[in-house]
């Protein structure tokens, strides 16, 4: 049986670059389709990702997956969390630093991947990266809140790292690597 390449549906080029490298590392094929999908208002990344995977599958057909992520700052009760994309576009990195002020800087990036084969199989995979919010933005790489996020045990922000370095630590590399391991296992069982 042939194994069609899954399509990653996203509007975010930074995410796509990271996901492409993870698939390459696992020696799995991947297609990327750039499109906006509607996001339901929900406090749960899992719910948002399931809704978006169904839309993405109708859009492109075949097996697809989407990834939903957010930055959760503990002292702000998890803000901006599932609304990170909106908050990034409105308040921006500087706005979030102002809201945080001198409160505790512990934070976690969370990622949920939702895969749907278009027939019967839907699977979700999660990843978390603990860390802290930097005092000021540093670095030019990555996207979104990368210039202000320092992963636990590190001195540099994600934006000061190469994509390969970020992929050794990030929330997205955990969720997407779990998807890759699962795809690999399923394919072996079918051959
Ligand atoms: P999609 O089309 O894939 O949804 P998006 O950028 O809208 O792309 P999300 O809805 O999942 O993605 O929003 C996640 C936001 O959280 C993203 O826009 C960033 O602002 C922030 N974020 C998530 N992961 C990040 C990371 O690895 N580095 C920096 N910021 C991140």
Is there an atom of ligand 1 within 6 Å of 170 CB? yes
pLDDT for 189 equals 86
Cα dihedral sign, 97-100-106-111? negative
Could you report the average pLDDT of every consecutive run of 10 residues in the chain (191 residues)?
Answer: 86 98 97 94 95 97 98 98 97 98 98 96 98 98 98 98 98 98 90 73
Q: How far apart are CA 175 and CA 86, in angstroms?
A: 22
C-alpha of residue 110 to centroid of ligand 1, in Å:
10
Quick check: CB of 12 below 6 Å from ligand 1?
Answer: yes
Task: Report pLDDT for 2.
Answer: 62
Q: Residue 41: which residues within 8 A CB-CB, separation 6 or more?
A: none
Ligand 1 closest atom vs CA 68: 11
Per-residue confidence (pLDDT) for residue 12, from 0 to 100:
97
Predicted local confidence at residue 96, as pLDDT: 98
Q: Is the CB of 69 under 6 A from ligand 1?
A: yes
Instruction: Identify the H or E element spanning 112.
Output: strand 106-116
Does the active-site annotation cover 102? no
The domains located in the chain, with CATH, are 7-190 (3.90.950.10)
Report CA(83)–ligand 1 centroid distance (Å). Answer: 9
Nearest protein CA to atom 6 of ligand 1, as residue:
12
pTM listed for this prediction? 0.96
The H-assigned helical ranges of 61-91 are 84-90
Task: Write down the pLDDT at residue 183.
Answer: 96
């Amino acid at each position: 049986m042939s194994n069609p390449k899954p399509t990653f549906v996203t509007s975010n080029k930074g995410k796509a670059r990271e996901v492409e490298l993870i698939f390459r590392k696992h020696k799995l094929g991947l297609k990327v389709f750039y499109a906006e999908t509607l996001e339901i208002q929900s406090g749960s990344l899992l719910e948002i990702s399931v809704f978006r995977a169904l839309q993405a599958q109708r859009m492109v057909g075949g097996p697809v997956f989407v990834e939903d992520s957010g930055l959760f700052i503990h002292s702000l009760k998890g803000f901006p969390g599932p609304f990170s994309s909106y908050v990034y576009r409105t308040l921006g990195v500087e706005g979030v630093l102002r809201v945080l002020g001198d409160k505790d800087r512990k934070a976690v990036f969370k990622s949920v991947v939702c895969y749907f084969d278009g027939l019967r199989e839907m699977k979700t995979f999660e990843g978390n990266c603990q860390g802290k919010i930097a005092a000021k933005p540093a670095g030019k790489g990555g996207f979104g809140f990368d210039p202000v996020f320092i992963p636990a045990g590190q001195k540099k922000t994600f934006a000061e790292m190469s994509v390969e370095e970020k992929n050794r630590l990030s929330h997205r590399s955990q969720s997407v690597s779990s998807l890759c391991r699962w795809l690999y296992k399923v394919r072996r069982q079918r051959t």
